[in-house]
Structure formats: structure tokens, C-alpha cells
Amino acid sequence: MAQLKPGSVAVPEIPVEERVELPASETAVIVVDMQNDFVKPEGRLFVPTAPQTIEPIRKLLEKARKAGVKVFYTQDTHYEGDPEFKIWGEHARYGTWGWEIVEELKPVEGRDIVVRKTRYDGFYGTPMDDLLRVYGIRNTVIVGTVANICVLHTAGSAALRWYKVYVPMDGISALNDFDYYAALRQISFLYKGVVVRSVDGIEFK
């Protein structure tokens, strides 16, 4: 068996769209795990590039709400003794500061929908699919963190349920560049999602 050697890995070409226009009534924005434990430096599982995505995500949400686009949040949620703590350490524990969605991107009470999840995938064990179908959603714009974990698994689950997936590059974050580009590659190549250069290139009609 060939042994892996440290070094540079070439990123396969990832098609990137500069602009997409989506029907507001058939599109939902899904904000994945933008919680204090992941986004704030004092959080338990801080993602260094996550703070840079706050403003792009805020701009996207502003456009979405103005156009009447449904907005969903996933909120990573764990309880005492959760087996996942053995993998990542304690994080996003229900009721703690770290579990809360960052103040800059707070859901709008009575408008936005928060889906609590206990694993990486925003669809696993949650009403996400049912809610999207209730609202007649066909397209999902997915942003948040962590790119190659919860964002990728949520995007994959959406695609496997035949929702079209769109991901703006400035709206997701990862622990390192390899994980960031690996996630974009999988979303584009495996799940036939659309990678968009920036949230500025996403319009709702």
C-alpha cells in the first residue's frame, strides 16, 4: 500500500458562478451553526475564519428577508453525557452561552425558524425536510460553519432529497484551507451544488 507523504495537494477545478437569481417563494436560506462556541474566539470550538463570515451572512439575510425568502437556522445542541463530547470535547451544550446563535445574526422572532440538531447533519432527526416541503422550497442557500462538517453534511442531505444547493464562498468557514476547499469540491462535484463567488452575487426575485 502506498504511503501518504506530507505536502501540497492540488485543488481540482471548482466551477464558480458570479451571479445567480433565485425565485424567492421557492428558496430558503439555511444558516448552519453560527453559534458562540464556533464563531467567537472564547468559544470552545472556535473556527478562526468564522468571524469573517458574519457580515456576508448578515447581508444575505437582509436581502432574503426583504424578498420574503424563508430563513432557517440550525443550532447544534448537546446535552450532558453526549457521546459527541468524546470526539470534540464539550461544546454547544444546551442553555449555555456557547450554544446561543451569535448576537449579530440573531433569528427574527416569529419569522425565522430555528432547527435544533444533535449531529452534523441539519436533517438528521429534525423536522427540516418536512418544513422545507411545507413551504414549497426547491432551492437552498447554505451558509455557516464548519464547512467540511456540518455545512457539508447538511448540504449533502439537502441534495440527496433533491433540493438544489447554492453555497456562497464568503458565507462559509473552516478550520483550515484544505477543509474549506474540500467541502466546496464535494458540494460542487458530488452533490451538483452551485458554488457562488459571494453573497453579493445571489439575488432573489
Residues annotated as catalytic are: 33, 117, 150
Q: Quick check: 30 and 142 in contact, CB under 8 A?
A: yes
Q: What one-letter code names the amino acid at 64?
A: A
Gyration radius from the chain CA atoms? 16
Q: Which residues does residue 154 pair with via DSSP β-bridges, in sequence order?
A: none
- State the maximum Cα–Cα separation within the chain, in Å, rounded to a whole number: 56
Q: Quick check: 140 and 28 in contact, CB under 8 A?
A: yes
Nearest to 172 by CA among 49, 36, 25: 49
The grid coordinates of residue 101 equal: 446563535
Nearest to 108 by CA among 64, 144, 167: 64
CA–CA separation, 76 and 99 (whole Å) = 7
Which are the contacts of 124, defined by CB distance < 8 A and separation ≥ 6? 117, 118, 153, 157
The grid coordinates of residue 17 equal: 458562478
